């Protein structure tokens, strides 16, 4: 049986010297086969699901990099420190937020490499309208994703099943928040204890009620009327319809300006002891090393957000800036998965001492 540390040392040696297998094609093919089998054996069910879901993306991102002169610019570069983000944005004509998502994903798949922070070099694989997005263009529709789903029942059913099942093997925000002692210590039965804004089918409300079956106070699910029609039936859960931009919604699906408006709209509903709890991705400001297990998933999700909603996953500094602009201050950020899922706990600035 192989000693893990010895195996790891041999793999690192090979990664640093890949040419040692080039002369023997049979050995090379055997190594490729075994490395793929090892990757499949080691990845978690969640990682397998995400790999399959986002499997079309490498070709898509490669095509974008080719069409937008990113590969050509990097291949022509002779500066060992690489090409700056600003130069590549100019060469590609991409919006900075789109460019960042593209390059994050391209780096994960070693299509390009980040030599220094914000400077990119070639690897051996290297040789708009703000209201629109790739989803609308691809489906030839003016409808947003969720409105389109409402008239496509097969896709709607598949989407909601996917959203329901994909996180079942992972921890949740309730694993890092002691809801009863932190937020519900002095709650009375007629108080509102929890409002899930843009809560979809009510899965978060259901999880809270399951975690705290004796929780006092009202639990409210807010979303658009057509979404609430198919929401889960959870005890005495109150379902409250609302329009996203007249009252509240979610951050993950919106650009920066919309997120600030959303967060500001929440402030008017906050009482003196209210807390805003955001369950979202919080990407580290420093990118993880290439090859870190699971890092393919988050850049892929960011690409999906850009395509479907013209939005993206955000780094911690960006989220702090957005909440600050909206008049909120972050009290704590607690990550509960190794895929950067986190709960952000914030209050109105005036509440902090």
H-helix or E-strand spanning residue 145: helix 145-150
Residues 6+ apart with CB under 8 A from 248: 197, 198, 222, 242, 262, 265, 266, 269
Residues 6+ apart with CB under 8 A from 65: 71, 102, 106, 111, 112
Phi-psi region of 195 (alpha: psi -120 to 50; beta: other; left: phi over 0): beta
Residues 6+ apart with CB under 8 A from 240: 220, 221, 222
Q: Percent of the chain scored above 70 by pLDDT?
A: 94
Q: Is 111 helix (H, G, I), strand (E, B) or coil?
A: coil
Q: In the chain, what are the domain boundaries? A: 62-142, 156-288+295-348
Tokens at residue 186, please? 């002095």
C-beta neighbour count of 341 within 10 angstroms: 19
The string of pLDDT tens digits covering residues 281-309 is: 999 998 888 777 778 888 899 898 888 88
276 vs 261: CA distance, rounded Å? 15
Tokens at residue 141, please? 């529709």
Task: Give the class (CATH, top level) of 156-288+295-348.
Answer: alpha beta
Burial label, 26 (beta-carbon count in 10 A; 0-12, 13-18, 19+): exposed
Per-range mean pLDDT, top range of 11-25, 107-121, 124-138, 226-240? 107-121
Q: Given this model, what pLDDT does residue 101 score?
A: 94
Residues 6+ apart with CB under 8 A from 21: 14, 27, 28, 31
The string of pLDDT tens digits covering residues 244-262 is: 444 435 566 788 888 888 8
> Buried (b) or exposed (e) across 105-114, using 16+ Cβ within 10 A?
bbbbbebbbb
The string of pLDDT tens digits covering residues 108-157 is: 999 999 999 999 999 988 874 556 778 888 888 988 888 898 899 999 88
What is the model's pTM?
0.67
The string of pLDDT tens digits covering residues 27-51 is: 888 888 888 888 888 989 999 999 8
In CATH, the number for domain 62-142 is 1.10.10.10
């Amino acid at each position: 049986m192989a000693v893990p540390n010895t195996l790891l040392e041999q793999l690192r040696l090979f990664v640093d010297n890949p040419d040692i297998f080039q002369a023997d094609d049979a050995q090379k093919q055997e190594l490729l086969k075994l490395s793929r089998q090892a990757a499949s054996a080691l990845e978690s069910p969640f990682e397998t699901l995400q790999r399959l879901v986002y499997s079309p993306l490498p070709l898509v991102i490669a095509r974008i990099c080719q069409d937008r002169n990113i590969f050509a610019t990097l291949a022509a570069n002779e500066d060992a420190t690489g090409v700056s983000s600003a130069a590549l944005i100019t060469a590609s004509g991409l919006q900075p937020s789109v460019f960042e998502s593209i390059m994050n994903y391209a780096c994960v798949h070693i299509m390009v490499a980040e030599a220094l922070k914000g400077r990119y070099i070639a690897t051996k694989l290297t040789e708009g309208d703000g209201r629109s997005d790739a989803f609308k263009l691809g489906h030839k529709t003016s409808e947003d994703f969720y409105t389109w789903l409402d008239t496509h029942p097969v896709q709607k059913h598949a989407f909601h099943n996917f959203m329901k099942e994909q996180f079942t093997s992972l921890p949740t925000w309730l694993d890092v928040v002691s809801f009863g002692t932190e937020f519900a210590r002095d709650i009375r039965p007629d108080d509102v204890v929890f409002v899930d804004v843009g809560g979809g089918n009510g899965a978060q409300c259901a999880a809270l009620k399951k975690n705290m079956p004796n929780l006092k106070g009202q639990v409210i699910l807010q979303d658009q009327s057509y979404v609430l029609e198919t929401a889960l039936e959870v005890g005495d859960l109150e379902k409250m319809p609302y329009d996203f931009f007249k009252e509240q919604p979610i951050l993950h699906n919106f650009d920066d300006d919309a997120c600030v408006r959303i967060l500001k709209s929440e402030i008017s509903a906050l009482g003196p002891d209210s807390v805003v709890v955001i369950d979202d991705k919080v990407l580290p400001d420093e990118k993880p090393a290439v090859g870190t297990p699971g890092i393919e998933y988050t850049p892929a999700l960011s690409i999906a957000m850009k395509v479907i909603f013209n939005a993206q996953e955000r780094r911690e500094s960006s989220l702090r800036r957005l909440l600050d602009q909206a008049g909120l201050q972050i009290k704590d950020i607690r990550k509960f998965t190794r895929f950067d899922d986190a709960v952000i706990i914030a209050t109105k600035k005036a509440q902090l001492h």
